[in-house]
Structure 1
Amino acid sequence: MTSDAGYSRFEALGAYLPPTIQSTPELVATVVNVPDVPLERITGVRERRVYDPRPEAGEDSYGLALKAARNALTNSRYDGADLDVVISVSITRFKDGDDFYFEPSFAGLLAKELGARRAIHFDLSNACAGMMSGVYLLDRMIRAGMVRTGLVVSGEQCTRVAQTAAREMADSYDAQFASLSVGDSAVAVVLDRSVDEADRIHYVDLTTSSEFSHLCLGMPSDRSEGIALYTDNKKMHKEDRLRLWPSFHGDQLAKQSRTFADEAFDYVIQHQVGTRFVEFMNATGAKEFGTDTPESLTGCEVFGNTATTSHFLVLHKHLTEGTARQGAKFLMVPAASGIVVGALSATITNLGV
């Protein structure tokens, strides 16, 4: 947490979901070697959005990100030319079909397309904590007076790993099982300077515990063409792993002579691995903090695990549907490969969605 005089806020939020919906039974029917895998019972995911592979659909990673960025700017009082920074944080970096891009940077391409020609632009990769990490950096840049406003964006074509898992899984304990829980989406958020305590990012704190870095790895498949995700679900859900967040967050609050109860959060958004994971995280937090956790907002039931976009996709869903209110205090808790944990605290009052 910082003691700087300046603060940032969430000014606008945009999202894009491919219109194609795939139900869990439809996905399970494509799993070659494991018939009737109990995916929905284990993960709580009923359906997910799936990209359209046709080039004209513009639903590769880059195209998804561009659609979300345009939506965010539609909801913003700024346009592309006003942006000082553009940060792209996608894990999946597909453009022009099956081409996986490292250069030119997505941020540079997006900035040009959005008319942000004077903006600083760079890509950032930090697994599923990408959006949180991008916000962390942009928040610090605004607080330091280096920039006035910026955009953090991600487009995730995640279901490619589900397609690989469906071909390759040997049983329900296969390391690719978690790949079946993913979905495709994009989000983008605009930040600017906060001038009101009721509309402010209070802090973003992140840490990495490398002891667990081997538990979730994305890479080219070792059995066939395509990208794959290998996750040790049993160890990922052990209590010592789940305790990383409340232990770190509690320590950070103690430095300010504060407790979790003092924060008076209205809502918490956990990383959307699945409904059981969210329940485990909230229960662990309540136990460690010695107080009830706030109302938990989810979206994995209908979106699946959308990687970097999950927290802001859930925020967008609940604000637009009226199941979360403007003027409330939100806690976002990352849980990313690395292992990255932490907390983002923000009061959101005038967010354009």
Structure 2
Amino acid sequence: MYSSILHAAVHVPPGRQSVAEAEERFRSHNPHVSLSPGVLAHMYGLSERTVAPAHEQPSDLAAHAARRLFEARELTDPSDVDLLIFAGILADLEEPATAHVVADKLGLNCPVFDLKNACNGVLNAIEVADALIRSGQYRRILVTTGEVSTRASRWSVDDPADV
């Protein structure tokens, strides 16, 4: 028994925020903190970051990408997926697992679970999917993720020593 990745798809939200805009937002919330222009670009190598629409949750982003995959692979039957693993860091809700929400949005009726391990989550989900396929428990596993980490940005600090 072996496994392989048959297809991959992504969804990148259209919203953008430049590093200069992020720095200005931070400065406006923290006039008591000195933040040199360009420091974030210098420290992190960023020029801009992607920002999801305010109404979209991690499950929406994962579902958008999964729909693209389904269209590319011409998968129309929800039973084509035997298991769904959501490997995001952030969740729509504390409970139920975001995988349940993604499955509902996609019309899937298969077992699901979330796997969280920070930046390694997707890689670990692929490893788990491989092991489950090799064991013969599942044949077709959908690994999804979606992040809205820009919403977790900390814009205000009480003490400049915290920066």
TM-score, normalised relative to structure 1: 0.41
- 1:78 shift after superposition: 3.2
2:66 corresponds to which of 64, 69, 94? 69
Q: CA offsets per residue over residues 47-98 of structure 1, 9 Å max, x none?
A: 1111221x3xxx222211211221222222434320000011221113xxxx
2:86 corresponds to which of 88, 93, 111? 88
Which residue is 2:50 aligned to? 49
Measure the CA separation in 2 of the matches of 1:109 and 1:87.
11
Q: Secondary structure in 2 aligned to 1:34?
A: coil
Change (3 A) 1:74 1:34: farther
> Superposition RMSD on alpha carbons, in Å?
1.9
Q: How does 1:5-16 map to 2 (within 5 A)?
A: 6-16=1-11
2:124 corresponds to which of 133, 136, 159? 133
Confirm or deny: 8 A CA contact 2:63 2:102 kept in the other structure: yes
Measure the CA separation in 2 of the matches of 1:160 and 1:107.
20
Change (3 A) 1:69 1:34: farther
Structure 2: unaligned runs, 5 residues or longer: none
Q: Secondary structure in 1 aligned to 2:10?
A: strand
Q: CA offsets per residue over residues 231-266 of structure 1, 9 Å max, x none?
A: xxxxxxxxxxxxxxxxxxxxxxxxxxxxxxxxxxxx
Confirm or deny: 8 A CA contact 1:62 1:106 kept in the other structure: yes
One-letter code of the match for 1:170? P
Confirm or deny: 8 A CA contact 2:91 2:97 kept in the other structure: no
- 1:145 shift after superposition: 1.6
- 1:35 shift after superposition: 2.8
Q: CA offsets per residue over residues 204-229 of structure 1, 9 Å max, x none?
A: xxxxxxxxxxxxxxxxxxxxxxxxxx
Change (3 A) 1:50 1:34: farther
Matched, 1:29 2:29: no
Measure the CA separation in 2 of the matches of 1:115 and 1:62.
13
Q: CA offsets per residue over residues 273-320 of structure 1, 9 Å max, x none?
A: xxxxxxxxxxxxxxxxxxxxxxxxxxxxxxxxxxxxxxxxxxxxxxxx
Q: Secondary structure in 1 aligned to 2:43?
A: helix
Matched, 1:78 2:78: no
Measure the CA separation in 1 of the matches of 2:35 and 2:117.
34
TM-score, normalised relative to structure 2: 0.85
Confirm or deny: 8 A CA contact 1:12 1:73 kept in the other structure: no
Higher-helix-fraction structure: 2
Confirm or deny: 8 A CA contact 1:20 1:49 kept in the other structure: yes
Q: CA offsets per residue over residues 158-195 of structure 1, 9 Å max, x none?
A: 01222x1x312736x83xxxxxxxxxxxxxxxxxxxxx
Confirm or deny: 8 A CA contact 1:16 1:67 kept in the other structure: yes
Confirm or deny: 8 A CA contact 1:29 1:36 kept in the other structure: no
Which residue is 2:106 aligned to? 114
Q: Secondary structure in 2 aligned to 1:75?
A: helix
Confirm or deny: 8 A CA contact 2:85 2:125 kept in the other structure: yes
Measure the CA separation in 2 of the matches of 1:40 and 1:113.
37
- Number of matched pairs: 155
Q: Percent identity?
A: 30
Which residue is 1:156 aligned to? 147
Higher RCO structure, 1 or 2 (CA under 8 Å, sep 6+): 2
